[in-house]
Amino acid sequence: MGKNDNLRGKSPGRTLITGASSGIGEALARHFASRGHELVLTARRRDRLETLADELRARVNVTVIPADLAADQGVDSLITELDRADLAIDILVNNAGVASSETFQAMGEDTVDCLLSVNVLSLTRLTKCILPGMRARGFGRILNVASVASFQPVPSLGLYAASKAFVLSLTESLAEELRGSGVTVTALCPGLTKTEMVEDIHGALQVPAFMMASAEAVAREGYAALMSGEVVRVPGLANVAAITWAKFQPRWLVRNLGGLAARLTA
């Protein structure tokens, strides 16, 4: 831990985790709790949040605030509840995400709106709301869960990949804007991970289960990167190798190979 991590003498920093009811968010909640962080957990499903909170309260203080970040007032209601409870956030984990394996043309308007609202708009607005307090206190950490899809077009997951490219770009820009402020920003870019969201599109992607990482392993890497102030962390040597290879290839080649893979699995 750094010299500023033991805030208030009670925990290494109060941590808000979105999308905490399952998958990487749930794994992150457990990992932060094991390191003594006071937690604020949010997601749509109150019952799952309460079950997780009951488990973690043996270690740390946990506050549950259900919120639907796809809704127009989702972020506003969450911020209102944080203010009402006087819960200053030292560490923000923007984990909530939505994916769809439909082609762009096949996606309904509701699916498009939901994906962009959760992956882009709510992440941006929540960061915008919580960042001023971090700046004023001279300390804060933000972890944005992006994806290896951030680095290249993915024709079978076009809108999802585009939304995660936004997350990666915003993270890197903020990391530079906030340099020297005491606030760090990290993008966690996992590959395919064993979560409910991925299971929903797993059949469409036709990826063997052994090629997917565990949520717990991704959470460990995300926590380590966040606490060390890394800007970008890609878990898994295979994912790092794939991204490195793509970086040195012409964009037309990467794009065409992605399109070929999408057609073969259609």
For residues 85 and 77, give the distance between their C-alpha atoms in angstroms, rounded to a whole number.
12
Question: What is the number of other CB atoms lying within 10 angstroms of the CB of residue 258?
Answer: 20
Asked if residues 167 and 187 have their Cβ atoms less than 8 Å apart, the reply is yes
Q: Are strands 39-42 and 91-94 parallel, antiparallel or unpaired?
A: unpaired
Nearest to residue 93, comparing CAs of 148, 7, 138, 32? 32
Token duo for residue 258: 């992605």
Report how far residue 30's alpha carbon sits from residue 20's, in angstroms, rounded to the nearest whole number: 10
Question: Is 160 marked active-site?
Answer: yes
CA 125 to chain centre: 14
10 Å Cβ neighbour count for 177?
11
Q: What is the DSSP letter of 184?
A: E
Of the residues 139, 160, 166, 223, which is catalytic?
A: 160
Q: Which residues are catalytic?
A: 160
